[in-house]
Amino acid sequence: MLKRWLANSSLLPGAPGAHRIATTLDTWRPLAQDVAASGGQLLALWAERHAGATVLAAFLCDDKLLVADLALAEHETDYPGLEEIFPCATRMQRAAADLSGVHARASDTRPWLRHAAWPAEYLPLAPRAGDWLPTTTPPADHYAFVRVSGDGVHEIPVGPVHAGIIEPGHFRFSIVGEKVLKLEERLGYVHKGIERLLAQTPLTDGHRLAARVSGDSAVAYSWAYCQAVEGIASTVAPPRAVWLRALALESERIANHLGDLGALGNDAGFAFGLAQFSRLKELWLRALGATLGQRYLLDFVVPGGVARDASRDGLEALAASAQSIAAEAALVRAIYDEHSGVRDRFVDAGTLKPDLAKRLGVIGLAGRASGRDHDLRVDLPCAPYAELGVQKQMRTEGDVAARVTVRFDELTESVRLVTAIVARLPSGERRAEVGPAPAGALGIGLVEGWRGPVMVALRAGSRDLVERCHCHDPSWQNWPALEHAIIGNIVPDFPLINKSFNLSYSGHDL
């Protein structure tokens, strides 16, 4: 069924395998239904406002990314919702309504990002939104949480301000005793206005903002942004640059897994794990700073290539550091596996069964721990991943233990990839000059970040400025899954289960 849609699509510049197809009000939902029937999934949904309104959806379909656009008639701002086909569409549709004023005909139309932080009539991503700003702060809005009633049912509100130095999010637990019957999240408290800031930014400067969408995924976002820019500007990054990008991406994956493995040990009451993995992460960040010039690689990937090169001695030292860290991590892993207290906290906690993970469209690391066999480095690889033979790491149990195991296995695989990249890194230039981009051109960047697929949809404006840029984090798909994973668990296990997903608040809120 999907073949007939692909036959009528055209290639999109940027990510390998990206296609585009125009739809109408009559074909928008049938396309989505055929994608779902063929095993594909919704990756992102967003809106654009120019003279009229356009809704766009990106679908992952085996070795293709299919971007469907639905141009609405003049003065029309509503369209058929997709949440019955892809439940993860709900929050994306609500965000598009808050930011662009384009509304899905759906069952849940509550505001998602606005939080009464700006008047309802102000649309940050609508035409001429920058010509005026709200002068008064609207009163706090009443958010209609879904209530659970019955004998002995209580609510526990947590956040948005938390005891630790973490980003804000509100979690509303409905409980009986300590057992969780329902969790409802409310996010969107860290709205930075990045998509608004990107509009009218020079195309060759936007990578800096993209890298700061979610700081722990800086390489993934900046690479995806540059991939889109290079596609619409017909620029090819030199081979050495793309291999250095892969080195940076795997280095980012290693750093995040080391941090999470320590935090998960700590949440299980095993401070030894936190101490050891914090030490290993610090060693890795120091090695990155010495070799690539930054501990966190916020400004390493740039349009046309990379910002700086690395010496052969520095690269070999980085590979040696990775191998040493992997050996030590393996020793701590054995302790985790043998420690009865840790195992009691990890096993069967926060279970997300494969069938539910599939229905919810869970992606990335969390998906692979619940039997979702998807990794863009294998399924839709950009250079140089097709040459590296990436091995997918997957479990089917779907609990905290499975998500910990996937992290350990991916850490080992990323160390192997870093070693292989250093050994095979081609010589040559590190950066190519980026040519002009035709106004109105749409480019797509798609990279497998450490959490999962990171996508950037970029439309060029006049004078080589950004007209519209939408950045999509895998947390959009996975936050709703956390609400299901906690059901039946006790409240004190929530921090552990939450950390096992470790989703981004910031990347979810643009």
Same domain, 120 and 231: no
pLDDT tens string 99-138: 999 999 998 999 999 888 788 788 889 877 666 666 777 7
Same domain, 92 and 240: no
173 inside domain: no
Tens place of pLDDT per residue across the chain (510 aa): 788 888 889 999 999 999 999 999 999 999 999 999 999 999 999 999 987 899 999 999 988 999 999 999 988 999 999 999 999 999 999 999 999 999 999 989 999 998 887 887 888 898 776 666 667 777 777 889 999 999 999 999 998 988 777 889 999 999 999 999 999 999 998 888 899 999 989 999 999 999 999 999 999 999 999 999 999 999 999 999 999 999 999 999 999 999 999 999 999 999 999 999 999 999 999 999 999 999 999 999 999 999 999 999 999 999 999 999 999 999 999 999 999 999 999 999 999 999 999 999 999 999 999 999 999 999 999 999 999 999 999 999 999 999 999 999 999 999 999 999 999 999 999 999 999 999 999 999 999 999 999 999 999 999 999 999 999 999 999 999 999 999 999 999 999 999 999 999 999 888
Kindly state the tokens that stand for 28: 């928008």
Q: Up-side HSE of residue 249: CA atoms within 13 Å toward CB?
A: 31
180 inside domain: no
3-state secondary structure at position 73:
coil
Same domain, 122 and 216: no
DSSP 8-state symbol, 279: H
Same domain, 387 and 472: yes
158 inside domain: no
Residue that finishes a domain, picked among 89, 109, 131 = 131
Same domain, 203 and 116: no
Here the CATH number for the domain that contains residue 38 is 3.30.460.80
Say how far apart CA 373 and CA 357 lie, in whole Å: 11
What DSSP string describes 83-117?
Answer: TTT-TTHHHHHHHHHHHH--EEE-S----SS-TTS
The number of distinct structural domains making up the chain is 2
Same domain, 104 and 246: no
Chain centroid to CA 257: 15
Residue that finishes a domain, picked among 81, 97, 131 = 131
What DSSP string describes 385-448?
Answer: GGGTTPPP---SS-SHHHHHHHHHHHHHHHHHHHHHHHHH---S-SB-------TT-EEEEEEE
Kindly state the tokens that stand for 162: 């938390």
82 inside domain: yes
343 inside domain: yes
Torsion of CA 169, 173, 178, 179, to 10 degrees: -120
50 inside domain: yes
Same domain, 428 and 346: yes
Here the CATH number for the domain that contains residue 309 is 1.10.645.10
Domain span including residue 79: 2-131
178 inside domain: no
Q: What is the pLDDT of residue 162?
A: 84
Same domain, 335 and 452: yes
Residue 1 near residue 38 (C-beta atoms within 8 A): yes
Q: What is the pTM of this model?
A: 0.97
Q: What is the pLDDT of residue 122?
A: 84
Residue that finishes a domain, picked among 111, 131, 151 = 131
Same domain, 117 and 199: no
Same domain, 255 and 332: yes
156 inside domain: no
Say how far apart CA 64 and CA 60 lie, in whole Å: 6
Residue from 172, 155, 195 nearest 508 by CA: 195
Same domain, 115 and 200: no
pLDDT tens string 204-228: 999 999 999 999 999 999 999 999 9
Same domain, 57 and 202: no
